[in-house]
Structure 1
Amino acid sequence: MDPITELLAEVLEEIRPRDAGAPADYIPELASADPDLLAFSVVGPRGRVRSVGDDHAEFTIQSISKPFVLALALAEKGRDAVLGRVGAEPSGEPFNAISLEPVTGRPANPMINAGAIATSALIPGDDVDDRTARIVDMLSAFAGRSLWVDEAVYASESLTGERNRALAHLLKSHAVIDGPVDVAVETYFRQCSLLVTVRDLAVMAATLAFGGVNPVTGRRVVDERVARDVLSIMSSCGMYDYSGEWLLRVGLPAKSGVSGGLMAVAPSQFGVAAFSPRLDTHGNSVRAVALVEEASERFGMHLLEPHESVASPALSLHGDDTARVVRLGGELGYAGAERIVAILRDVAGGLPEDVPVTVDARELGRTHPGALVALRSEFEDLPNWIWLSE
Structure 2
Amino acid sequence: MESPVRKYLHQLFNDTTAMDGGDLADYIPELAKADPEVFSIALTTIDGRTYSVGDDEREFTIQSISKPFAYASALTDRGLEAISAKVGVEPTGEAFNELSLEKGTNRPKNPMINAGAITIHSMLAEPDSSLEDRANHTVEFFSRLAGRKLEMDESVFRSELETADRNFALAHMLRNLGVFEEHAHQVVAGYVAQCAIKVNVRDLAVMGATLANRGMHPFTGERVASRDVARQVLAVMVSAGMYDASGTWFSDVGIPAKSGVSGGILGVLPGQVGIGVFSPRLDPKGNSVRGVNVFNKLSQDMGLHLLNAGIFGSNTIRSVSEGDDETVMRLQGVIQFSGAEAILHRMASLECDPGTMVFDLTKVTRLDAMARRMFLEGLRRLTADGHRVELIDPDEVLPDPDLGGSTYPIRRETP
Question: What TM-score, normalized to structure 2?
Answer: 0.74
Distance 1:312 1:109, change over 3 A: same
Post-superposition CA distance 1:112-169 (Å, at most 9, x none)? 1110000000113531110011111111011010001000000011111010000001
1:150 maps to what in 2?
Answer: 153
Distance 1:137 1:306, change over 3 A: closer
Shift of 1:313: 9.4
1:291 maps to what in 2?
Answer: 294
In the alignment, the residues of structure 2 paired with residue 170 and residue 238 of structure 1 have an alpha-carbon distance, to the nearest angstrom, of 23
**Does the 8 Å CA contact 1:39/1:198 hold for their aligned counterparts?**
yes
In the alignment, the residues of structure 1 paired with residue 199 and residue 315 of structure 2 have an alpha-carbon distance, to the nearest angstrom, of 40
In the alignment, the residues of structure 2 paired with residue 15 and residue 108 of structure 1 have an alpha-carbon distance, to the nearest angstrom, of 35
Kindly report which structure 2 residues correspond to 1:364-383, keeping only aligned pairs within 5 A, or say none. Answer: none
In the alignment, the residues of structure 2 paired with residue 313 and residue 13 of structure 1 have an alpha-carbon distance, to the nearest angstrom, of 31
**Does the 8 Å CA contact 2:271/2:312 hold for their aligned counterparts?**
no
**Does the 8 Å CA contact 1:263/1:274 hold for their aligned counterparts?**
yes
1:204 maps to what in 2?
Answer: 207
1:115 maps to what in 2?
Answer: 116
1:103 maps to what in 2?
Answer: 104
Partner letter of residue 101 of structure 2?
Answer: L
Shift of 1:310: 9.0
Distance 1:309 1:244, change over 3 A: closer
SS of equivalent residue, structure 2 residue 5: helix
Post-superposition CA distance 1:221-257 (Å, at most 9, x none)? 0101100000000011001111111001110110000
Distance 1:55 1:309, change over 3 A: closer
**Does the 8 Å CA contact 1:251/1:302 hold for their aligned counterparts?**
yes
**Does the 8 Å CA contact 2:139/2:150 hold for their aligned counterparts?**
yes
2:265 maps to what in 1?
Answer: 262
**Does the 8 Å CA contact 1:21/1:280 hold for their aligned counterparts?**
yes
Given candidates 252, 272, 275, the residue that maps to 1:272 is 275
SS of equivalent residue, structure 1 residue 166: helix
1:8 maps to what in 2?
Answer: 9
Partner letter of residue 196 of structure 2?
Answer: S
Post-superposition CA distance 1:153-204 (Å, at most 9, x none)? 0001111101000000111011111221122111100000000000000000
1:59 maps to what in 2?
Answer: 60
Q: RMSD of the TM alignment (CA)?
A: 2.1
In the alignment, the residues of structure 2 paired with residue 314 and residue 3 of structure 1 have an alpha-carbon distance, to the nearest angstrom, of 18
Distance 1:161 1:309, change over 3 A: closer
**Does the 8 Å CA contact 1:41/1:198 hold for their aligned counterparts?**
yes
Distance 1:22 1:269, change over 3 A: same
Aligned residue pair count: 320
2:168 maps to what in 1?
Answer: 165
**Does the 8 Å CA contact 2:36/2:279 hold for their aligned counterparts?**
yes
**Does the 8 Å CA contact 2:46/2:210 hold for their aligned counterparts?**
no
Question: What TM-score, normalized to structure 1?
Answer: 0.79
Partner letter of residue 186 of structure 2?
Answer: V
**Does the 8 Å CA contact 2:143/2:150 hold for their aligned counterparts?**
yes
Shift of 1:103: 3.2
Distance 1:207 1:311, change over 3 A: closer
Percentage of matched positions with identical amino acids = 48
Partner letter of residue 117 of structure 1?
Answer: I
- Which deviates more, 91-100 or 110-119? 91-100
1:21 maps to what in 2?
Answer: 22
SS of equivalent residue, structure 1 residue 28: coil
Partner letter of residue 133 of structure 1?
Answer: N
Kindly report which structure 2 residues correspond to 1:1-390, keeping only aligned pairs within 5 A, or say none. Answer: 1-125=2-126, 126-305=129-308, 307=310
